[in-house]
Amino acid sequence: MSGPSRDKQAGLLLDEPLIFERNRPGQMGVDVAEVEADGLLPAELERAELEGMPEVSEPEVVRHFLRLSQWNLSAATTFYPLGSCTMKYNPIANEAAARMPGFAGLHPMTPDGLAQGALELMAELQDMLAEISGMDAVSLQPAAGAQGELAGMKMIRAYHEDRGDPRRRVLIPASAHGTNPASAALCGYEVAQLDGNAQGVVEPDAVRRAMSSEVAALMITNPNTLGIFEREIAQVAEIVHQQGGLVYLDGANLNALMGVAKPGHIGADVLHFNLHKTFSTPHGGGGPGAGPVGVRQVLADYLPNPRIVRRDDAWAWSSDAPKSIGRVRSFFGNFGMFVRAYAFIKALGGDGLTRATQMAVLNANYVRARLQDTYHLAVPGLCMHECVLTDRNLEGTGIKTLDVAKRLLDYGFYAPTIYFPLVVSGALMIEPTESESLETLDEFIAAMEAIAVEAAEDPDAIHAAPVRTPVGRLDEAKAARKPVLRWRADDSAGG
């Protein structure tokens, strides 16, 4: 046997098989007594065996998952400038708060009288989100941003139907997140795409042309996905409103606006919040998120049920809202995320949230200013909380946005969002958030500059990237052609 190779068998690059491949028949990671339960279920309903489930002791299970954790870059360990995702610091104190037994151990069917603290926390969080956004009423129920969109669009549909004026179309800018058209379609709407101007900004004339009495709503993101504030938002909203339409604001980029501008005061009728973006509840490797919806008074009747009310000097749940769209989720939403968002807002206060927005915008502009000559900037001028660069200046080197992203991994940074928004060719969308220091940004900028130099002088090194990761570039096309989506006991996933 040879000694440790460089090939992920040693040092900090530890190999780790699937948990099923650690299987040792007879092992268990818990001690559970066998009890007499024969005959309680009829034989034809009884499960024979949990075929394929792992048999592994506790230390091995713990080692397995700790090793897996070390194969992730994360916002806590690394600058993670994933655009439109607001990868800010997730305070440890929030994690502790959500785990308080009074919160984590509270059953959702608990009588209201025995859950007053949870209800008050939720009521207060609703009020704080309303204040931040300038909306009149908030429901915390949707489980994530996309479900917030769904709830918002269902409310818009209910509003129009209630007025005897059902409409069939929704306007959505080409730069929008894919969830916008998908959510509109889930509400039975046809989607009409709006092209922005050269800055990706929606212009009143374009809206005027597309607007008609058939249009239920405009869905718009502000700042948009190019990191640019939609300057004409007030006029655009007025055009939509004049023809009886409503304005849906995608709140994914709210981190640019706290204390600076309130969507509810500049034309939005309904918006969703992403608590996992703006309000620091962790992204969890892809959830759980939370996507509360805020509305202006005109839509308040349609908010999901149940709602929190004040009755006889106590908090209570009420479903006494006949025009409500009903439920989008079981129980009350991702409550554990509400505790974290509440803790975050309480920790920062009004001034702190405003300062967070200012620092997020400053950080984005600093990165933009430092890199706009090396890389091509999609939209000249100031940006908000994120900036969009492109690979245009690398033309002729054979290096593209994807290669830049992969090489950044070798430099110890997560990659920006790439090839989005779709309206920008070769986009690199960078959102630093308020959580990063000047020193970290300078390191990132140095890496981006070094990659640009490498592109000209040693493009092969970039094509080979990443090399300092547990695996190299993975063949996604092949994976999709013959998908292997699970391990099987009889037919090991191979290796």
Partner 1 sequence: MRYLPQTEQSVRHMLGVVGVERIEDLFRDIPEALRATAALDLPTGLSELDAVRRLTELADRNSGATALSFLGAGAYSHFVPAAVDNILQRAEFYSAYTPYQPEVSQGTLQAIFEFQSMVAMLLGLDVANASMYDGASAVAEAALMALRMQRKRERLLVARSLHPQYREVLATYLQGIADAEVVEIGFGADGRLDRAALAAELDDNAAAVIVGTPNFFGVIEDVAAISEVAAQQGVLTITATSEAMSLAAVRSPGDCGADIAVAEGQSLGVPVSYGGPGVGLFAARDRYVRSLPGRLVGQAVDSDGRRGFVLTLATREQHIRRERATSNICTNQGLIALAVTVYLSLFGKQGLRRLARQNLALAHRARDLVCAGSWQPRFDAPFFNEFAIRGPDARAALRRAADSGVVAGVELGRWYPELDDSLLVAVTEVHADADIETLAEVLR
For residue 212, state whether it binds partner 1 (rule: CB under 8 A): no
Q: Is 143 in the site for partner 1 (CB under 8 A)?
A: yes
Which residues sit opposite 271 in a β-bridge? 249, 294
Q: Is 390 helix (H, G, I), strand (E, B) or coil?
A: strand
d(CA 108, CA 98): 15
> Rule CB under 8 A: is residue 224 a binding residue for partner 1?
no
- Phi, psi torsion values for 10, nearest 5 degrees: -145, 175
| Residue 473: CB minimum distance to partner 1, A | 5
Give yes or no for residue 109 binding partner 1 (CB under 8 A): yes
56 binds partner 1 (CB under 8 A): yes
Is position 126 an interface residue for partner 1 (rule: CB under 8 A)?
A: no
Least distance in Å: CB of 325 to partner 1? 6
Q: Using the rule CB under 8 A, is 42 a contact of partner 1? A: yes
Kindly state the smallest distance separating residue 298's Cβ from partner 1, in Å: 19
Residue from the set 139, 245, 254, 283 that interacts with partner 1 by CB under 8 A: 283
Helix axes 335-371, 116-133, angle to 10 degrees: 30
> What CA–CA distances, in Å, run from 181 to 189, 240, 342?
9, 18, 30
157 scored as a contact of partner 1 (CB under 8 A) = yes
Q: Is beta strand 307-311 parallel, antiparallel or unpaired with respect to 417-418?
A: unpaired
Q: Does 12 bind partner 1 (CB under 8 A)?
A: no
Task: Report whether 191 contacts 170 (CB < 8 A).
Answer: yes
Please, what is the minimum distance in Å from the beta carbon of residue 18 to partner 1?
Answer: 6
User: Interface with partner 1 includes 208 (CB under 8 A)?
Assistant: no
> Are 133 and 271 a contacting pair, CB within 8 Å?
yes
Residue 106's contacts (CB-CB under 8 Å, 6 or more residues apart) are 115, 118
Helix 438-457 to helix 335-371 angle (10° resolution) is 60
Of 4, 9, 46, 453, the one binding partner 1 (CB under 8 A) is 46
We find the least distance from the C-beta atom of residue 119 to partner 1, in angstroms, to be: 9
Binding partner 1 (rule: CB under 8 A), the pick from 13, 14, 20, 136 is 20
List 79, 81, 126, 132, residue binding partner 1 (CB under 8 A): 132
Scanning 153-161, 243-251, 392-400, 449-457 for contacts with partner 1 by CB under 8 A, the matching segment is: 153-161
Does the footprint of partner 1 cover residue 472 (CB under 8 A)? yes
Taking CB under 8 A as the criterion, the residue among 4, 10, 18, 310 binding partner 1 is 18
Give the neighbor-by-neighbor strand order of the sheet with 169-173: 137-139, 293-295, 270-272, 246-250, 215-221, 169-173, 190-194
Candidate list 212, 311, 331, 458; residue touching partner 1; CB under 8 A: 331
Separation CA 34–CA 239 (nearest Å): 69
Window of 152-160, 238-246, 293-301, 447-455 that interacts with partner 1 by CB under 8 A: 152-160
Q: How is residue 273 written in tokens?
A: 């919040």
| One residue of 312, 457, 476, 490 binding partner 1 per CB under 8 A | 476
**Strand duo 307-311 + 376-377: pairing:** unpaired
Cβ distance to partner 1 smaller for residue 182 or 456: 182
- Residue 435 is a binding residue for partner 1 (CB under 8 A): yes
Q: How many Cα atoms within 13 Å fall on the side-chain side of residue 326?
A: 5
Stretch that binds partner 1, among 202-210, 283-291, 423-431, 448-456 (CB under 8 A): 283-291
Token code pair at residue 461:
């090194």
